[in-house]
Structure 1
Amino acid sequence: MSKSVALHTLGCKLNFSETSSIGRLLEQDGFVKKDFDEVADVYVINTCSVTENADKECRYLVRRIQSKAPEAMVVITGCYAQLKPKEIAEIPGVDLVLGAAEKFNIVQHLKEISKGDATKICSCDIEDVNTFTASYSQNDRTRTFLKVQDGCDYNCSFCTIPMARGKSRSDSIESVLNSVQQLAASGVKEVVLTGINLGDYGKGYTGGKKHEESFFNLIQELDNVEGIERYRISSIEPNLLTNDIIEFVSNSKRFMPHFHIPLQSGSNKILGMMRRRYKRELYAERVGLIKTLMPHCCIGVDVIVGFPGETEEDFKETFDFLHSLDISYLHVFTYSERDNTHALTLQPVVPINIRNERNKQLRNLSYQKMQYFTQQHIGEARKVLFERNSRNNMMEGYTDNYIKITTPYNAEWVNNITTWTI
């Protein structure tokens, strides 16, 4: 009788693509995929550790599994598993902890353990993680997340990702093109390129061979692949978003007019304390060029509030800077302390209630920005790709420039690009 597996993702789009690939490995070994709310023989949780909440959510999910399927095997992988394997192993009900180098060896590890054994930790020093494993999400939604880069060589003072994912490394252009051709053949219409530091694409080893390529080289090649109608760039650092990339996207038929560019702070003082590799002036320059070449382009921004040392004046500088920029929406993160980061040594610490209040102010600004951006395009006919998922007989899709459209469900529109008047 076939065993069943249920998978759950915490965190970023990169994790989403990896969970999907882990699921395919298990299905190839004979596992039947189930929904996470169903009873299964094996549960896999792919964790994030960017915020404290991700850690808490992992513990909550394990408790839920214990109550509904106490005999099931529980596997924890992802960033939290790499950073704190012993802490995870002590959570009652966890059977297997897989670090960064072992997540794609899950089939073999499951064959070597039984329920009731002592929790097995399969992890290694993050310095030893130097291989790249291609992964992409499929059959989960109309848009596919394709991992082309992993790891990060930056050392931002608030971030644990280099400790969880290792050094920057990438897939080869040849291998990426092969994956994209497979996705096109399976009917995928939109591919979102993902990575930990996507603009750093190019460093890496594939099949034991070193390659040096650039993100600009990659997008030029991808633009020629027949069958994929849309590409999006998930998130790219402002110092790595070159004029060449912006100009290329502005002239491309397949790359959508949509950028997500992390800012983190609009104060140069705070950016320096965060060890970011740019100043606000460069960020404004990038936004200005994008909007000059593509006035209709959607621009999303990551920003952190409540970083140690952030005064009211620093926050006001960030708020005013964001208010002045022609951007479309914000992803607002409340700073949370992470072990083994330089930011823990910085003073003064911003009280939690003030962090939360600043988060609320920026979320309100984000709402206003998105409303204004959408209103600018009212009456325009734009291309929308509608997704498979439907709720209450409604369906959702996104325009080329990332405006969400909700409409009554129509099966003929699913995974098809439709001209829509906003």
Structure 2
Amino acid sequence: MNTKKKVGFYTLGCKLNFSETSTIARSFKDEGFDRVDFNDPADIYVINTCSVTENADKRFKTVVKQAQKSNPEAFVVAVGCYAQLKPQELADVNGVDLVLGATEKFKITDYLNDLTKNDLGEIHSCEIEDADFYVGSYSIGDRTRAFLKVQDGCDYKCTYCTIPLARGISRSDELQNVISNAKEISSKGIKEIVLTGVNIGDYGKGEFGNKKHEHTFLELVEALDQVEGIERLRISSIEPNLLKNETIDVVSKSRAFVPHFHIPLQSGSNVILKAMRRRYMRELYVDRVIKIKEVMPHACIGVDVIVGFPGETEEHFLETYNFLNELDISYLHVFTYSERANTVAAELDNVVPKNIRTKRSKMLRGLSAKKRRAFYESQIGATRKVLFESENKAGYIHGFTDNYVKVKSPWNPELVNTLHDIELTKIDDDGLVRFDFVEVHSA
């Protein structure tokens, strides 16, 4: 008879959270637990929280209810950024038994001696200053792609952001350890590794607040490019002031790094960038885009942008809209500004009404669709390498080119986790590039 305890996991938020959930899940496996799908009955449910937006906070309660529906007697644990920032708020949610902060989450199994349901959630949360050590993580969610954490925390003081409060100071994994994790991922047959962190361009800062860089992000890129067996490497998101021309040049000549950059902008207005305490002006952003397109004309460039920041007038917003419209970028991730407790921005005057924030967000999402379509059209006629994924979605298999064009083909299980050179010939009605395989040949 199998008496193993079952545990299910749910991750809210970013790629970094996904990598850490996987690491926490492996610690459960080492302790003899069976991992099950979050929708299945389990003895323990672990919810890895996010607190970047108000919506992520609200979703937490929905996820707790989902866990209780599967098993009303299950022990529910909250970890992650929201758990560090507002532990009491989470502990007060009906059904939550345990809340663990930034340093405690990686020792989660130490807190599970008694799985009796609690009337009140128990909190074990550190002062964020104590989060000065590094825990390496990587996620293997499917057979195709893995998220590899190389850095954690942030020393920047952007006025809207709670991440430094939730994750502590900037610190990095040792270069040799990153290489070792990359080799381990590759040995499992996974074709693509996405480098992730809070501020990965700041890679190299040691533990315990050591501001000296043992290695640079450029050195990390160069070292990973030499690791045999890794088919593809992708940089998840990097600050424009930390994306150096040398790194762009290395990626352009790289064996494994793909021509895809995701570079946060946040605003196209220098007035708003200053109010946000970003570390660059829009002119530097233009320089980065020009440099990338100069050496990789086919590169995909994604942009993060925030609308409705306090003090953003209609003129500031149109400045951002026009700036992005004229820039040679490929798509946008649009965030509607939401007030976060204990941030400078939450105390600022000239609050933008929510209906105007929503309207501006809609305009930029429309621009994003237009930009993506134009980028896809620019790639028609090119032959690119596509990595196919493992899911059957309505009779189609999907994949991405190295430069992040989404491709679909009628479902064929033989294509799963394989790379193919494909000529991009037509865009389907849903905006994706369609390719009909006659015969399967791996690239």
Match of 2:336 in 1: 334
Match of 1:39 in 2: 41
Match of 2:413 in 1: 411
- Once the two structures are TM-superposed, the CA of residue 139 in structure 1 deviates from its matched residue by 4.4
CA contact (8 A) 1:205 1:211 kept: no
CA-to-partner distance for each residue in 1:135-159, whole Å, 9 max, x for gaps?
1111435110000000000000000
1:16-415 alignment runs, 5 A limit: 16-116=18-118, 118-205=120-207, 212-415=214-417
Inter-partner Cα distance in structure 2 for 1:381 and 1:281: 33
Give the number of equivalent residue pairs.
420
Instruction: Letter of the 1:165 partner, please give it.
Output: R
Unaligned runs of 5+ in 2: 425-443
- Once the two structures are TM-superposed, the CA of residue 410 in structure 1 deviates from its matched residue by 1.8
Instruction: Letter of the 1:167 partner, please give it.
Output: I
Instruction: Letter of the 2:263 partner, please give it.
Output: I
Instruction: Letter of the 2:147 partner, please give it.
Output: F
Compared CA separation, residues 280 and 139, structure 1 to 2 (3 A): closer
CA contact (8 A) 1:141 1:389 kept: no
Inter-partner Cα distance in structure 1 for 2:213 and 2:306: 34
SS of residue matched to 1:114: coil
SS of residue matched to 2:148: strand
SS of residue matched to 1:111: coil
**Percentage identity across paired residues of the two chains:** 59
CA contact (8 A) 2:292 2:299 kept: yes
RMSD, matched Cα = 1.4
CA-to-partner distance for each residue in 1:353-381, whole Å, 9 max, x for gaps?
00000000000000000000000111211
Unaligned runs of 5+ in 1: none
CA-to-partner distance for each residue in 1:221-259, whole Å, 9 max, x for gaps?
000000101000000000000011111101112100000
TM-score (norm 1): 0.97
Inter-partner Cα distance in structure 2 for 1:276 and 1:370: 26
CA contact (8 A) 1:172 1:211 kept: no
Instruction: Letter of the 2:391 partner, please give it.
Output: N
- Once the two structures are TM-superposed, the CA of residue 291 in structure 1 deviates from its matched residue by 0.4
Inter-partner Cα distance in structure 2 for 1:342 and 1:356: 22
Inter-partner Cα distance in structure 1 for 2:142 and 2:132: 29
Inter-partner Cα distance in structure 2 for 1:251 and 1:68: 50
Instruction: Letter of the 2:317 partner, please give it.
Output: F
SS of residue matched to 2:316: helix
Instruction: Letter of the 1:343 partner, please give it.
Output: A
Q: Once structures 1 and 2 are overlaid, which stretch shifts more, 321-330 or 378-387?
A: 378-387
Inter-partner Cα distance in structure 1 for 2:5 and 2:175: 36
Inter-partner Cα distance in structure 2 for 1:113 and 1:375: 55
Inter-partner Cα distance in structure 2 for 1:26 and 1:109: 12
CA-to-partner distance for each residue in 1:71-108, whole Å, 9 max, x for gaps?
00000000000000011111111011011001110111
Inter-partner Cα distance in structure 1 for 2:356 and 2:213: 47
Instruction: Letter of the 1:274 partner, please give it.
Output: M
CA contact (8 A) 1:89 1:96 kept: yes
Instruction: Letter of the 1:55 partner, please give it.
Output: D
SS of residue matched to 1:204: coil
Instruction: Letter of the 2:368 partner, please give it.
Output: S
CA contact (8 A) 2:100 2:125 kept: yes
CA-to-partner distance for each residue in 1:335-359, whole Å, 9 max, x for gaps?
0000000001222000000000000
Instruction: Letter of the 1:367 partner, please give it.
Output: A
Inter-partner Cα distance in structure 1 for 2:227 and 2:354: 49
Inter-partner Cα distance in structure 2 for 1:244 and 1:109: 46
- Once the two structures are TM-superposed, the CA of residue 66 in structure 1 deviates from its matched residue by 2.2
TM-score (norm 2): 0.93
Q: Once structures 1 and 2 are overlaid, which stretch shifts more, 388-397 or 157-166?
A: 388-397
Inter-partner Cα distance in structure 2 for 1:305 and 1:229: 37
CA contact (8 A) 2:303 2:329 kept: yes
Compared CA separation, residues 280 and 353, structure 1 to 2 (3 A): same
Inter-partner Cα distance in structure 2 for 1:211 and 1:321: 34
Which structure 1 residue ranges, 4+ long, deviate > 3 Å from structure 2?
none
SS of residue matched to 1:281: helix
